[in-house]
Structure 1
Amino acid sequence: MKIPYFLKFEDEHLISLHQYSQLPDWCKYPLHFALERRYFKQPQIELLSQQLNQEPFFIDLVQINAKEPAYIPFDINDRQLYLYFMLKGSLLYTTGDYRPIIRTQPNTFLMSYYDIGHYFAYAQQGIHIAFVVSILPEWIEGMYQEYDNLKDILHRFKNENKTYDTMYQCRMDRKIHRWLYKIYSYSQANIGAIDGNLRKYISYLLEHYDQVIREQNGDLAYKVKAYIEEHYCDAELSVKFLTDYFFLTERTLLNVFKRQYNMSVQEFYTELRMGHALLLMQQKGIGIKDVYMEVGYTDERTFRSALERYLKRR
């Protein structure tokens, strides 16, 4: 299949690796059946991409060692569906003009699609590991006619005009880790056996994801989270607004959300606002006197206090 994306590093930072024994010491996940290994090394960041391009899948095990926070540029060359697993760390994906798309959380997975264009992945200092599977939509369409949620994702991918979309991000349990291990630990050289192994376990993962979405569609905490992610820059957003919008008591809202996501509602939308504000200040040169209105605050003093607390936590 067509390679869906390319990392935009300078060639001078690329180190050729022909065998997995040449992988850097910090790499904990060798992908033995990878046909291409691309290792980029810069003073502030190292990135190892181990890839297998075998229709209907493009497999990429990406491992990042960030010595300091860094933006990783990449170009998407073909509108494509992704099944994405964040094995360790967390990455913030943005558009080419640094508009936040999603922050992937550790030990979670999701489906998404992106159109042709320029994007960034922002990595904080530390180790980040993502297992990315690009899937031909025709393969999913032929295999999963009875799975309504997968069909809905395909419909959105094929018919909506959105440049990108991310679906429900859910926790990986032991079953998911076991299936993933069956994929990335596979070491046989027989390409036919690898093909069957990939189809089998990716099928399991897709079926499980369809079931999780079905269960979460009726989950109150997820509905609140999805609403906040879409409206966190609205000045009217508050705990009071959310209780009225969802017809809940404040106690029910706070308890349900914190039990599911281990943070309060206010902490969640404040994190989104601060992350967006820092991007605007760092990349677009917007000052505090202007940026606070862009991220949902009505006065500068309240924004400064929230930003100071946010930076201290980091």
Structure 2
Amino acid sequence: MNNEYKLKFSKPLLEVKDITGKIPDTCPYPIPFAQKSLLFEFEGASFINQQLYYETFKIDMFHLNTDEPFLIEYTVPNDRIFFNFILHGQVFFGTEDQTLITAPKDCTFYLSAEKAGSYSAKVPKGSTDVIVISLLPGWIASAVDNYPTLSEAVEHLLLSKNRYEVLPHCRIDDQVREWMFEFLSVKYKNTIVQQSLLGTRIAMTLCYYEELLASTSMGKMYQIKRYIDRNILSTDLDLSLMCEKVYLSERTIIRRFKEEYGVSVKAYYNQVRMQQARQLIENEKLPIKEVVNKIGFFDESAFRRAYRKYLLEL
């Protein structure tokens, strides 16, 4: 899998250096076996990208040090699933117009999917370290085949018509950190051996991610989110069914869902319906009357009011 990201920076680029095999001491996570390493220098900022690419996945280790907020625009030419690890700092991922997609915090990891297109990553002042593993859809589908929660989630990522999808963020605990250091310290020069060892570590981390999703409140909130995604034709949400599904009270669901996703259950439900409506109107060119029926509205005037409000808030 070759390098597939096209990067564009908010600051004027002063110089690009090939530092393969010569990672500076200022980089906290050097990968000695990186196949390619580049240093991008700016006024008041430096950006190091260490790359490893194999047949079924590609790994990018990013280290950014900046004296002010820094914006990176990037293009993904093909639909892709990403396994993201925020080792230090925070990143605000968004669309090309910087509409927020997700803002993973320090020491978290998660899966996401992005359709081909342009996106943005805004990084606050300071030091940030991120590992992004780009996975071939067929490989990850096979890797999680025996994990019920994650298998269903990955299937949703692959089949979703949404431009992007994000699974819950989980904490990088001591177990994941140990795997990450083993991951970064592989010493074998043979690329086939490297791919086998790294693939095993990725699969182990996916297995652990499955356990976290299945057992934690984050996983339960994701189940609620998926329930809403599948039931947008309902004229109203049935929270009692959600309570039975995850064994939590209605009050707890309302509180934890907002903590996890930043919006209320009802607001997310309305957002999903309006996103679906926009796709039907703009991409499939369906008339309003047909759209109203497809997303569970019975009153066209009520839909028009809700849709206008949604567009104004974009």
Q: TM-score, normalised by structure 1?
A: 0.69
CA contact (8 A) 2:213 2:220 kept: no
Query: Which residue number in structure 2 is paired with residue 282 of structure 1?
Result: none
Q: CA deviation at 1:42?
A: 0.9
Question: Are 1:20 and 2:14 matched, yes or no?
Answer: no
CA displacement 1:256-283 (0-9 Å, x = unmatched): 85xxx9xx95xx66xxxxxxxxxxxxxx
Partner of 2:300: none
Secondary structure of the 1:142 match is helix
Alignment of 1:28-107 (within 5 A): 28-107=28-107
> How many angstroms apart in 1 are the aligned matches of 2:194 and 2:12?
31
Cα displacement (A) at 1:145 = 1.9
- Preserved contact between residue 3 and residue 77 of structure 1 (Cα < 8 Å): no
Where 1:68 maps in the other structure, the secondary structure is: coil
2:120 maps to 1:123: no
Q: Distance in 2 between matches of 1:194 and 1:11?
A: 36
Which whole-Å CA distance do the structure 1 matches of 2:133 and 2:41 have between them? 24
CA distance in 2, matches of 1:130, 1:116: 21
Deviates more, 1:3-12 or 1:76-85: 3-12
CA distance in 1 between partners of 2:69 and 2:223 (Å)? 31
Query: Partner letter of residue 21 of structure 2?
Result: Y
- Structure 1: 5+ residue runs without aligned partners? 228-245, 270-292, 297-314
Q: Distance in 1 between matches of 2:144 and 2:223?
A: 25
Q: How does 1:235-314 map to 2 (within 5 A)?
A: none
Paired with 1:40 and 1:47, the residues of 2 have a C-alpha distance of 5
What's the CA shift for 1:11?
9.4
Look up the SS of the partner of 2:211 in the other structure: helix
1:18 to 1:24, Cα distance in 2 relative to 1, 3 A: closer
- Out of 3-12 and 148-157, give the one that drifted further: 3-12
Given that 1:4 and 1:80 are in contact with CA atoms closer than 8 Å, whether structure 2 keeps it comes out as no
**CA spacing shift, 1:218–1:133, aligned 2, 3 Å:** closer
- The yes-or-no answer on 1:172 pairing with 2:172 is yes
Give the direction of change, closer, same or farther, for the CA distance of 1:116–1:137 in structure 2 (3 Å limit): same
1:28-62 deviation digits (Å, cap 9, x = unpaired): 11111111112111114211110011111101110
Structure 1 225/64 Cα, relative in aligned 2: closer, same or farther at 3 Å?
A: farther
Mapped contact 2:20–2:35 kept (Cα < 8 A): no
- Aligned to 1:20, the other structure's residue is in SS state coil
> Does the aligned pair in 2 maintain the 1:110–1:169 contact within 8 Å?
yes
Q: Give the 3-state SS of the residue equivalent to 2:165 in structure 1.
A: strand
Deviation at 1:222, TM superposition (A): 6.9
SS in structure 1 of the partner of residue 43 of structure 2 = coil
Q: 1:183 Cα shift?
A: 1.0
Q: CA deviation at 1:192?
A: 2.6
1:154 maps to 2:116: no
Q: Is contact 1:87-1:130 (8 Å) kept?
A: yes
Which whole-Å CA distance do the structure 2 matches of 1:248 and 1:158 have between them?
A: 30
Please give the alpha-carbon distance, in whole angstroms, between the structure 1 residues aligned to 2:118 and 2:95: 7
> Closer, same or farther in 2 for the Cα pair 1:120/1:154, shift >3 Å?
same
CA distance in 2, matches of 1:156, 1:67: 39
CA RMSD in angstroms, aligned pairs only: 3.2
Give 1:217 shift: 6.0
Match for residue 135 of structure 1? Answer: 135
Q: How does 1:144-223 map to 2 (within 5 A)?
A: 144-216=144-216
Q: Distance in 1 between matches of 2:74 and 2:220?
A: 35
Q: Distance in 2 between matches of 1:204 and 1:211?
A: 11
* CA apart distance, 1:116: 1.0
Further displaced range: 190-199 or 109-118? 190-199
